[in-house]
Amino acid sequence: MTDQAQRPSRSPHTVAQRLLNASAANALDPHTDIDWSAPLLKDAFFWPPERLALYGTPLWDRLDHQQRVALSRHEVAHMAQMGHWFELAIIRMLARYLMSRRVLDVRAYYALTEMADETRHITMFGRLLSRLGCPNRPVPARIRLPHPVAAAAFQDITTFTSTLVVEEVLDRFQREAAQDERIQPLVRSVCRLHVSEEARHVSFARTELREAVAHASRGHLAFHRTLTALVASHTVPALLRPDRYGDIGIAPALARRQVRANPHHHATVLWSGEKLISFLLDADLIRRPQHHLWRRCGLMASTRQ
C-alpha cells in the first residue's frame, strides 16, 4: 500500500465524509438537469466515431456517413442498456456491503447515497434508450444468469473491483464524448452528468478496496484476485463489443470477425482500462497468474510482463 493511502486524510471514514459533503453540494437530477425535449440532430454522431468497435475495418470504410451515424446510435444504445443493468448490479452489491456495516457508520451513509445516485442513473439510461429508439436487446445470458450466484462470493474486494471495472472503463469513454462537439447534445449531457457523479463513486470504491486489501489474508486475497479477473474477462467484452449490427443491415457474423481482428479496437479497449489497470496493479490486485484473464478481456496488453 502506498504512503498516500495510509495517511489519515485518506482513511475510509474521512473519504466517505468528504464524498457525502460533495454529494449534498453537487447532486444532479437527470429529470431536470437534462433537456429531454431537445431534438436530435440529423447528421451528428451519437459517439466519437474513433471509439466505435468497427472503426478502421474494411466494413467501416464501406459505410457512408449516415450509416456510420446509425452505427454510433446503436452502439450508444448498447452501452446504455449494459450500463442500465450494471448499475442495478452495483446497487445489489452495495446492499450486501451495507449488511455488514454499522447503521451509523458514515461509510454506510455514503453507500446509501451512491445507491440513490445509481437509481437516478438507471432512470437516465432508460430515458436515453427511449429517445434513441433502438430495439431493446437483453443483457447477454452469460452475464445476466451467473451474476446472482457469483455475487454471493464477492465480498468487499470483488464488489468494489467489479464496480471499478465498469465505472472506470465507461468513464474514459464518457469523458471524451462529453467534450466532443461532433456528438449529439443529449448524449453529451448524459455523459457530463454521469461523469460528475461517477467520479465520487470511483473515489469511494478505490478507498474501500484498499481498506479491504489491507485486512485480507494471503489466501483470501489470492482468491479474489482470480475472481475479479474472471468477472472482468466476462464483463468487458460484453460491454465494449456491441452485437447490434443486424439492426442496421450489417451481417453480424462478418462484423464480429472484423471487430475481433481490429487492432484499432484492441487499442481502444487498452486505452479505456489504462487508469484501472494501473490502480489495480498498485493495489496488489493483479499478479502474474491473473494476467491471461486481464489480457482476455483486452485491458492488459499481451506484452505486459
pLDDT band at 102 (very low <50, low <70, confident <90, very high): confident
Q: Say yes or no to pLDDT of 8 above 70.
A: no
Q: Say yes or no to pLDDT of 182 above 80.
A: yes
pTM over 0.85: yes
Backbone angles phi, psi at 39, to 5 degrees: -70, 150
CA distances from 298 to 167, 251, 264, 268, 293 (A): 16, 24, 12, 9, 9
- pLDDT (tens digit, 9 = 90+) per residue, 19-43? 999 999 998 899 999 999 989 999 9
- pLDDT (tens digit, 9 = 90+) per residue, 253-286? 999 999 999 999 999 999 999 999 999 999 999 9
Helical axes 218-240 vs 65-99, angle rounded to 10°: 150
Question: How far, in Å, CA of 173 to CA of 265, rounded?
Answer: 13
pLDDT for residue 6:
43
Q: What domains are defined for the chain?
A: 10-23+42-296 (1.10.620.20)
Gyration radius from the chain CA atoms: 19
